[in-house]
Amino acid sequence: MHAVILDAASLGDGIDLSPIRERVSRLDVHDFTDRDEAVARLEGAQVAIVNKVVLDAETLAALPHLRLICVLATGTNNIAMDEAERRGIEVRNVAAYGTASVAQHTLMQLLALANRLPRYQRDVAEGRWGKSPFFCLMDHTTLQLEGKRLVIVGQGELGTRVGELAGAFGMEVVFAARPGAEQDARPTLAELVPTADAISLHCPLTEASRHLVDADLLARLKPSALVVNCARGGMIDEIAALDALREGRLGGLAVDVLPEEPPRDGHPLIDALSEPLNLIVTPHSAWISPEARQRIVELTADNLSRPLRD
């Protein structure tokens, strides 16, 4: 099969593509592909390998030889799935490649918020430690995680691993019901919020989970509570959360995702990093350990090895 990778640069440097090369007769590799370049680059190919390049219905209609799309990620929202199915084009994604990396990043954010790292780093950089009347600074009350309740939304492989790591710090871990799952017998996030010391999101972005953490829910949280989002942008009402943080109604906020990525027009949370807040914004980097990125290649090679439907 002739395969084309449209956005190989999204895998970063130091990644070995040989597992993919070994499973196709020809592999064309492009670091970046604009949406309007996709048809020309995929012309005649049986396999498209993409991460975030959009393959819409019009693009798929112009590619009669295409039989398989391999997505270098879990999400397939950049693919016109209905059109692919109508044209008999299989779509195969990868999952659970970054469990260790994302779980580690989530705990990093949780620990940093609990210890008020953003605020103390700012204090040290601005010389406040050197002016302290005694040996340390204690201006920002920290949160000892042992004995505190962490509510996790999403009990898949990733959410489960985060729960295991949090348990190692002595936290009580509770899993909320999946948003929109009416048959889920577990308590909803709204029901668990009043007792939560921290919330971590690890479920897909759907209409049921969009703005799951909104102004109403934030109003019912403990003022010391921490919120971490390493799932998808849009699951938190970021403006409402920022207001709560500024007003002392939220103990800390950490996000690795924003509704639009990259945020070329900026975002209020990024602007707020200049303020003395217990706020962390990372650039969708939870998944980027070299091990996780190489695992994507290996899982994609497995997807290429599976026979296509007749």
Structure tokens at 127: 């010389």
CA dist., res. 220 & res. 115, Å (int): 23
The strand pairing partners of 149, in sequence order, are 172
**Would you call 31 exposed, middle or buried from its count of C-beta atoms within 10 A (0-12, 13-18, 19+)?**
exposed
Catalytic-labelled residue, pool 21, 149, 284, 298: 284
Torsion of CA 47, 49, 50, 51, to 10 degrees: 150
Task: Examine the residue annotation and report whether 261 is marked as an active-site residue of this protein.
Answer: yes
Closest by CA to 58, choosing from 37, 77, 76, 80, is: 80
Task: Examine the residue annotation and report whether 191 is marked as an active-site residue of this protein.
Answer: no
Structure tokens at 92: 């195969």
Structure tokens at 175: 């899993």
Catalytic-labelled residue, pool 261, 275, 291, 306: 261
In degrees and rounded to multiples of 5, residue 301 shows phi and psi of -60, -40
Task: Examine the residue annotation and report whether 232 is marked as an active-site residue of this protein.
Answer: yes
CA dist., res. 204 & res. 207, Å (int): 10
In degrees and rounded to multiples of 5, residue 200 shows phi and psi of -130, 130
Distances (CA, A) of 175 to 72, 165, 196, 199: 29, 14, 11, 10
| Contact by Cβ (8 Å): 70, 47 | yes
CA dist., res. 210 & res. 237, Å (int): 8
Catalytic-labelled residue, pool 232, 267, 293, 295: 232
In angstroms, how far apart are the furthest CA atoms of the chain?
A: 77
Task: For residue 152, give the 3-state DSSP assignment.
Answer: strand
List, by residue number, the catalytic residues: 232, 261, 284
